[in-house]
Structure 1
Amino acid sequence: MKSKGMQHLLWTLGVAIASIGIAVGQESQNRLRAPAYPLVSIDPNVSAWSPSDQLYGSSVAHWSDNKPLPLLGAIKVGKTIYRFMGTEEIALVSLVPNGEDKAWEAKYTTVNPTGDWTAQGYDDKSWQSGKGAFGTFENEPHSKTDWTTEKIWVRRNIVLSEDVKGKNVFLEYAHDDDAEFFVNGIKVLSTGQATGKNRRVKLDAAALKSLKKGENILAAYCHNRGGNAFLDMGLLVEPAAKKYFDKEAKQIYADLQPMQTHYLFDCGDVQLKLTFTAPLFLDDLTLLSRPVNYLSYEITSAKPQDVELYFEAAPHWGLNLPSQDAKSESYEKDGLLYVKTGSVAQRILGRKGDHVRNDWGYFYMVGEQAATQAAVGTVNGLRANFVAGKSVAAAAGTGNQLALRQKGKVQGTWKGKIALGYDDVYAIQYFGNNLRPYWNRDGKQTIEGQFKQAFASYDAVLEKVSSFDKTFMKQYAAFGKEYAELCALAYRQAIAAHKLVESPNGELLLLSKENDSNGSIGTVDVTYPSAPLFLYYNPELAKALLNFIFYYSESGKWQKPFAAHDIGTYPIANGQTYGGDMPVEESGNMLILTYAIARAEGNAGYAQNHWNVLTTWADYLLEKGLDPENQLCTDDFAGHFAHNANLSVKAILGIASYGHLAKMLGKEQVATRYLAAARDMARQWESMANDGDHYRLTFDKSGTWSQKYNLVWDKVLDMQIFDPQIRQKEVKYYLSKQNKYGLPLDSRETYTKSDWIIWSATLADDLQTFQAFVQPVHAFMNETVHRVPMSDWIFTDKPDRRGFKARSVVGGYFMKMLAEKYKN
């Protein structure tokens, strides 16, 4: 019989050996320190992340500016409790509401004011009166006053009914673009050149001291540099609360895989491995659309131990704002215990916009009845009962917190699991029709049925997921470890930014939400960069990214001779809501992607079904594409400009795509005409854009340059339109322009788009050059100070994001894999 000391020594050695094996012996491990780690990946509204190195280092959060989605995990080993997930922070309470749900009164001016306009006693009688939030009505649905000028100064008189001395008070703010905020004349924040929604900053001692019971002033200045404009502000206060789980587990590692995020913890005498799993198989629509993720665990102990696990979720998971009224309940069905929460109002499809979540439908945590206790109650009641060893069910009462508890005696290994899911009842409004999510497209399924299937198939699904992840990492590592790790991080992010539904005529629709850039649904120039992921794994889903745009034109609802930009603001898809068209951009995107689908399938049947509208778009590009007029392109954040050389490349390859499609369909005369036109335009392009050792940003400005990422399709699809020496010259020039964190988008700014870098890298003919472009992007993600889901709009000379996060466009990282697929 081994002594307790010997048992502990053997266990410690086992952990050390396992850690060494993880570090050096398993090539599939991903040690990228992610900007944020994906935990729950269902759709744009149900997307949860850990924005810190340790899972217990911060609250679990939604992608939309880290709105908390409190998910707490604790383990009791004997009598000692360790917190391994989330924090015990109490939801902040609104002290002064912002304008998201209710307008606020303010005075404002768009002319630079004189004097200390931020002070309480300032005379603002000559200023205009308006309601906040302030912003462009066109694309900012929370705007209450239409702000269309370049700059604005705002003063908001607030009345506090309580003394906040000694409390933690936070400014909650939103801005697009640069902003400064003041409390009673004291500067709280200067954002610099950035944008953000629902952000928070704790007031320092001076600002807090200035707040008095009675009248106070919140003031702000904002500078709109182009595009959308927005300004909003309010105050939040942190209520006093008792902490129950101060002792933290020791996190050994985080391992981010395409479909899973693994954590390993030391919890005293036991080791806890925790795994979040989203079985997002792009070739299995049943699993892809099932709105259920797993949270599983494996506990090992060298000696017999009484172990209990506690999982707690807040009603925030079923709300847009924590201040909304929620209703929670617990029940049993088919051997599973459920805790469920949702808004009282249940305004189905009643909220649209960018930084919002569902406030309809229901969130669930579920465990197997034989292994689980379930309860709904107050924060204090649930946690106190767990600490005291009482049944969590005894804490049931008036609260809406959800809790599951599982316990057992461990010697060796103990495994268990719970599941997290969401039933949004109706997912999308599509040209007046309310559509259910794909898993319930016939209206005959139930969420309980989905959970029952998820538990019944757990072992098979986890085996399939683990095999996928391992194969993925090995396959992608052939193009560099950094490339594999970036793609692993991109996989769930790209997919979860979409919603899968079926149209009334039976077509598959994969509708993106343009996260953190304006909230549009089905944006074509978001589809375009994300498409490589779907083309690589399932061309049917690539079609699902285009079907609604074809329908929009073919139904006559969109009558312009070029493709639409979007079909609405998520989740309302009743027609374009974006304020500016992108005629060359979107038409080129649709033509190129249709040809990419044909190449993936080996036939042009899909193109044949949409031939008339494809012809209209191709003819538009023939007329307008070579030297584009002053218009937006997908890089619209950089503003309008004419003679865009990279946009011209897209137009030419769009025409070429149409010609190649005609050839596949046996339309030889049409093919000859359009392919000849494309090649002639390409020759003209080379002359117009040539600037010696590189090609220009715009045809009319020498000394400029830009990434010609659109050229990648000429290589990937072997179109043979542009002279290969053009891309070779460009790649060589790009290498001389790289900064620490990547290749700038063009000669105007130091910022870049990380997805376009991967496309430009794919232009290279050798692996070493490809990796030279990828490695700086990996370094940025590993070192960035912004702990948000991966950004695609980043600075190349500092570890800061310029804007955007959690967007589907990181599906563009898969361009290299798509190139290899077409080549082979």
Structure 2
Amino acid sequence: MKNKGIQYLLCTIGLSVASLSVVIGQHSLNSLRAPAYPLISIDPNVSAWSASDQLYGSAVSHWSDNRPLPLLGAIKVGKQVYRFMGTEDVELSTLVPNGEDKGWDAKYSTVAPQGDWTGRSFDDTDWTSGQGAFGTFENEPHSKTDWTTEKIWVRREVVLTENVAGRDVFLIYAHDDDAEFFVNGVKILSTGQATGKNRRVKLDAAAVKSLKKGKNLLAAYCHNRGGNAFLDMGLQVERSARKYFEKQAEQLSADVQPMQTHYEFACGDVKLKLTFTAPLFLDDLRLLSRPVNYISYEVISEKPQTVELYFEAAPHWALNLPAQDAGSESYSKNGLRYVKTGSVAQRILGRKGDHVRNDWGYFYMAGEEATTQASVGTEQGLRANFVSGKSSTVPAEQGKQLVLRQKGTVQGSWKGKIAVGYDDIYAIQYFGNNLRPYWNRDGKQTIAGQFEQAFASYDEVMEKADAFDRKFMQQYAAFGKEYAELCALAYRQAIAAHKLVESPNGELLLLSKENDSNGSIGTVDVTYPSAPLFLYYNPELAKALLNFIFYYSESGKWQKPFAAHDIGTYPIANGQTYGGDMPVEESGNMLILTYAIARAEGNGDYAKNHWNVLTTWADYLLEKGLDPDNQLCTDDFAGHFAHNANLSVKAILGIASYGHLASMLGKEQVAERYLAAARDMARQWERMANDGDHYRLTFDKPGTWSQKYNLVWDKVLDMQIFDPQIRQKEVNYYLGKQNKYGLPLDSRETYTKSDWIIWSAVLADDLQTFQAFVKPVHAFMNETVHRVPMSDWIFTDKPERRGFKARSVVGGYFMKMLAEKYKK
């Protein structure tokens, strides 16, 4: 697509090779067809993506898929309008609500029914009455009926007050795991072995025809395969509306860099270059926490042209559900024109969970006053005025859509920009204290001030972002083009899945949201795979990933002799809400990462501040870690199992980390004791896990295998605990177990975790073998049929994800760079 685009430019616009290099910049182009393209990257709730090859091919959406964040872009060249971003999707209205905001009545059975249980005439009087959604109370906040059995059958009678004949109707649904859905006995879909939240599927003609005014039936079956369970359903109907921007620009290229996503379009005889920039500099907390991103553009034309750009956003950006009541306005201040929207209710920190977003605080778009028109109105009115050339001014009471327009005359090149941002007022509740975002931690800053700084420093920031992207791609390409391209796509995803705040005692807190899993906040076994990115760029942020877990134990709020799993459900961080503990997993994670921080800083000061609790965790691992009992590890989707050899590696290296920390602090007798214990445990491990040419999944099951990705720390931190031949034996065995899209997690399934593959690749001592593991992951991301922000839980024998998306754990891709850093 890129080569075709370049040829088009040379032929139709007549650009020379020299001028073309200026247009596309001097960075290395990313050839990866991203599963989804990052556009706006601020935090877990303000995270917008394009899920198609062309920016105009689908609606801009939140990472949780069917959570549209409408952002529409069009350019008028003379009198011709071209749409270059988003779609004029017709709004959907709720026909039958699902269980997001309130429960719905239903009958259910956990025993397989006899007869046609999906039809309206079925007698369900013996079934149990309950409220949907159905799911595990421990980890699914929208569950109204606690469902913990393996299977469930649900019948929901609904009453329609309108006729939907001839209209497009959609089933909205959520499921964990396999599910089937029916409308009046007509089967709508079977999901197969998968999970999903906020999904939507259009009903076929037979299903729509079955819907009548009066009583109707929605029915569903779901199979809980372990872990969380969830089932929810409702209906939406499409409203009719005229489309104004049906003519599309021609996209010539799409290029994902670490901090920027670049697009190029042909709009008749004009070229448009569009860039989305999130200045996420991990060594600059001022820029990292500033809740403002740029959308900049360059229009190129050989002949004089009058052009005008149109950017439209919807109140959805500041709502959890589109049906919530919002207020919008436009105004000018200090040289900038703004459009602003937010919910009327403003229930600050009033909503928590996985596939939910802020419905408090305010979303903004802004442009420079001299070049920008700003307006609020209806979609139809605002779009019609743009097409006809009328002023964009529309009375606010006529609608709540937000529009910025910028107009100019171009011969050669014309550049412009807008900025988008979000003020969430309060970001996190931390053990009863409502914390402001880091940029306003003192409560004295304003969002207007952030926008003014963003515009004043635009040239400087863009120059820095360009330089960062160029250096990044060159540096990472030393370990393979595929590795560089994967890391470029992972960079913003990993960072934007966190929120930076300051604790009441002045500590940095970098709190992750466990996206598309259960919505936990500050999950330790999410921090663990994410940490290489932050260790590599700024160890202070790596500490910020641990500070709250140390506080949780040291304050006495968590009293168990091992580390907690999390501190709540995002954004409420008042204590663990996950339904089960991971004693060995989380304690090992905390000890290893604390030692990794010490190595990065060259001293053990951070560990010294937390020595008592580190000692408690190390002693727990001494007692329980060698042969773990029946418990979860970070790969909790695989369920509980005992004698986990890879988890044992983590425990041993956690003890070793404590020993090395003791040595750094001059505690030589302590160091000798724990390091000797770790080495002895490693020798026992080798005997217990040895299965000939590889090592077992569990000590008690010969003929099994698993990725021993936890061994990577022994190599990266030069701990010298395990015999290096163990790593080499495992790597050689893995090479014979790879499928087209990567190395399976273990011998039980064909699925894998892409972050662990990179860690296993780092176990290799040569670049060729490292690349042999990385290239299949790149192929998966390039070919996957699931157009979502990168998934880490994927199948290796087909281009499909098993679950998860948009998670911070892709920060683990940076393990190779961390390994190189620690070599120096």
Same fold (TM over 0.5): yes
Contact 2:329 2:396 in 1 (8 A): no
CA positional deviation for 1:546: 0.2
Tell me the CA shift for residue 12 of structure 1.
Answer: 2.5
Residue 393 of structure 1: CA displacement? 1.2
Do residues 507 (structure 1) and 546 (structure 2) align?
A: no
**Deviation per residue, 1:654-674 (Å, 9 max, x gap):** 000000000000000000000
* Contact 2:13/2:270, CA 8 A, preserved across alignment: no
Question: Identity, % of aligned pairs?
Answer: 85
| Residue matched to 1:240 | 240
Structure 1 residues 167-217: Cα deviation after superposition (integer angstroms, max 9, x where no partner): 110000000000000011010010000001110000011111111111111
2:3 is matched with none
**Does residue 221 of the first structure (1) align with residue 212 of the second (2)?**
no
Equivalent residues in 2 for 1:108-147, closer than 5 Å: 108-147=108-147
The CA deviation at 1:397 is 3.5
Mapped to 2, the partners of 1:70 and 1:395 lie a distance apart of: 21
Within 1, Cα distance between the matches of 2:101 and 2:809? Answer: 30
User: What's 1:629 paired with?
Assistant: 629
Match of 1:773 in 2: 773
- For residue 505 of structure 1, give the secondary structure of its aligned residue in structure 2: coil
Q: Does the CA contact (< 8 Å) of 1:364 and 1:420 recur in 2? A: yes
Equivalent residue, structure 1, for 2:58: 58
CA contact (8 A) 2:376 2:394 kept: no
Give the Cα separation in 2 of the matches to 1:780 and 1:395: 49
Work out whether 1:706 is the aligned partner of 2:706.
yes
CA distance in 1, matches of 2:478, 2:243: 48
Q: Which residue of 2 aligns with 1:362?
A: 362
- Tell me the SS of whatever aligns to 2:297: strand
2:665, 2:70 → 1: CA distance? 54
Find the counterpart in structure 1 of residue 333 from structure 2: 333
Equivalent residue for 1:5? Answer: none
Query: Per-residue CA shift, 1:104-123, capped at 9, x if unaligned?
Result: 11111000000000011111
Q: Could you say what secondary structure the match of 1:392 adopts?
A: coil
Question: Which one is further off, 71-80 or 388-397?
Answer: 388-397
Q: Which runs of 5+ in 1 are unaligned?
A: 1-7
Secondary structure of residue in 1 paired with 2:775 = helix
Amino acid at match of 2:363: F
Tell me the residue number matched to 1:750.
750
Letter in 2 for 1:171: L
Is the counterpart of residue 492 in structure 1 residue 492 in structure 2? yes
> How many Å separate the matches in 1 of 2:94 and 2:197?
16
Would the alpha carbon gap of residues 9 and 615 (structure 1) be closer, same or farther in structure 2, given more than 3 Å must change? closer
- CA displacement at 1:17 relative to structure 2: 4.3
Per the alignment, residue 381 of structure 1 pairs with: 381
Question: What is the match of residue 717 of structure 2?
Answer: 717
Which residue of the partner structure matches residue 447 of structure 2? 447
Q: Deviations over 1:59-97 (max 9, x none)?
A: 000001331100000000000000000000122110100
Counterpart of 2:593 in structure 1 is 593
* Alignment-derived partner of residue 457 in structure 1: 457
Q: Which runs of 5+ in 2 are unaligned?
A: 1-7
Structure 1 position 396, deviation (Å): 4.0
1:543 is the counterpart of 2:543? yes
| Residue 270 of structure 1 pairs with residue 300 of structure 2 | no
- C-alpha contact 1:381 1:395 (8 A) present in aligned 2: no
| Equivalent AA in structure 1 for residue 449 of structure 2 | G
Secondary structure, aligned partner of 2:370? helix
- Equivalence for 1:414: 414
The answer to whether the 8 A contact 1:23-1:29 is kept is: no
Does the 8 Å contact 1:11/1:302 carry over to 2?
A: no
Counterpart Cα distance in 1 of 2:807 and 2:603: 31
Q: Mean Cα displacement is larger for which, 204-213 or 796-805?
A: 204-213
Give me the whole-angstrom Cα distance separating, in 2, the residues matched to 1:15 and 1:72: 28
Give 1:387 shift: 0.7
Matched, 1:477 2:473: no
Q: Any residues of structure 2 matched to 1:631-646 within 5 Å, and which?
A: 631-646=631-646
Alpha-carbon displacement from aligned partner over 1:382-423 (angstroms, at most 9, x marks no partner): 111111101111454321100000000110000000000000
Match of 2:401 in 1: 401
- Residue of structure 1 equivalent to 2:433: 433
The equivalent of 1:185 in structure 2 is: 185
CA apart distance, 1:26: 6.0
Task: Look up the SS of the partner of 1:43 in the other structure.
Answer: coil
Is the 2:377–2:396 Cα contact (8 Å) retained in structure 1? yes
Distance 1:207 1:18, change over 3 A: farther
Q: Return the alpha-carbon distance in structure 2 between the equivalents of residues 90 and 735 of structure 1.
A: 49
Q: Which secondary structure state, in structure 2, belongs to the residue aligned with residue 225 of structure 1?
A: coil
Separation of aligned partners in 2, 1:296 and 1:22: 16
Residue in 2 that maps onto 1:315: 315
Cα deviation for residue 45 of structure 1 reads 0.4
How far, CA to CA, are the matches of 1:9 and 1:719 in structure 2? 55
TM-score, with length taken from structure 2 = 0.98
Match of 1:194 in 2: 194
Quote the residue 2:689 is aligned against. 689
Amino acid at match of 2:279: P
Deviations 1:95-150 (A, max 9, x none): 10001012111111000000000011111111111111111111111011111111
Specify the code of the residue in structure 2 equivalent to 1:607.
A
Q: Is residue 27–residue 469 contact of structure 2 (8 Å, CA) maintained in 1? A: no
Q: Describe the SS at the equivalent of 2:699.
A: coil
Matched with 1:3 is none
Q: Aligned-pair distance for 1:18?
A: 7.5
The question of whether the paired residues in 1 share the 8 Å contact of 2:12 and 2:269 is answered with no
Aligned mates of 1:377, 1:15 — CA distance in 2: 40
Distance across 1 between alignment mates of 2:774 and 2:734: 13
Query: What is the CA–CA distance in structure 1 between the aligned matches of 2:25 and 2:452, rounded to whole Å?
Result: 37
Q: Please tell me whether the aligned partners of residues 74 and 309 of structure 1 are also in contact (alpha carbons under 8 angstroms).
A: yes
Question: What is the SS of the residue equivalent to 2:172?
Answer: strand
- Taking the aligned partners of 1:632 and 1:17, their CA distance within structure 2 comes to 57
What is the SS of the residue equivalent to 1:105? strand
TM-score (norm 1): 0.98
Give CA-to-partner distance per residue, 1:487-545, whole Å, 9 cap, x none.
00000000000000000000000000000000000000000000000000000000000
Report the residue type matching 1:140 in the other structure.
Answer: E
Secondary structure class of the residue paired with 1:553 = helix
The 1:369/1:26 distance shift into structure 2, 3 A limit, reads closer
Is 1:732 the counterpart of 2:732 in the alignment? Answer: yes
**Contact 1:376-1:395 within 8 A present in 2 as well:** yes
Secondary structure of the residue aligned to 2:798 is coil
How many aligned residue pairs are there?
817
SS in 2 for 1:397: helix
What one-letter code is carried by the residue in structure 2 that aligns with 1:690? N
Q: Residue in 2 aligned with 1:570?
A: 570
The aligned amino acid for 2:820 is: E
1:813 aligns with 2:813: yes
Residue 657 of structure 1 aligns with which residue? 657
Q: Which amino acid aligns with 1:47?
A: S
Q: Is the 8 A contact 1:92 1:238 kept in 2?
A: yes
Task: Return the alpha-carbon distance in structure 2 between the equivalents of residues 454 and 218 of structure 1.
Answer: 50
Q: Do the aligned partners of 2:13 and 2:302 also contact (CA within 8 Å) in 1?
A: no
| Residue 484 (structure 1) shift | 0.2
Contact 1:292 1:454 survives alignment (8 Å): yes
- The CA distance in 2 between the partners of 1:103 and 1:617, in whole Å, is 42
For 1:430 and 1:540, how far apart are their aligned partners in 2? 20
Q: Equivalent residue for 2:798? A: 798
- What amino acid does structure 1 have at the position aligned with 2:282? L
- Please report how far the alpha carbon of residue 547 of structure 1 lies from its aligned counterpart in structure 2 after TM superposition: 0.2
Asked whether 1:79 is paired with 2:79, we answer yes
1:4 equivalent in structure 2: none
CA contact (8 A) 1:134 1:232 kept: yes
Q: Structure 2 vs 1, CA of residues 10 and 705 (structure 1 numbering), >3 Å: closer, same or farther?
A: closer
Q: Which has the higher mean CA deviation after the structures are superposed, 397-406 or 770-779?
A: 397-406
Question: Structure 1 stretch 560-569 or stretch 387-396: which is displaced more?
Answer: 387-396
Contact kept, 8 Å, 2:587 with 2:618, in 1: the verdict is yes
Aligned equivalents of 2:160, 2:66: Cα separation in 1: 27
- Provide the secondary structure at the position in 1 that maps to 2:802: strand
Q: Is the 1:66–1:788 contact (alpha carbons within 8 Å) kept by the matching residues of 2?
A: no
CA distance in 2, matches of 1:394, 1:108: 50
What is the aligned partner in structure 2 of residue 258 from structure 1? 258
Query: Which whole-Å CA distance do the structure 1 matches of 2:813 and 2:91 have between them?
Result: 36
Q: Alpha-carbon deviation of 1:620?
A: 0.3
SS in 1 for 2:398: coil
Corresponding letter in the other structure for 2:542: A
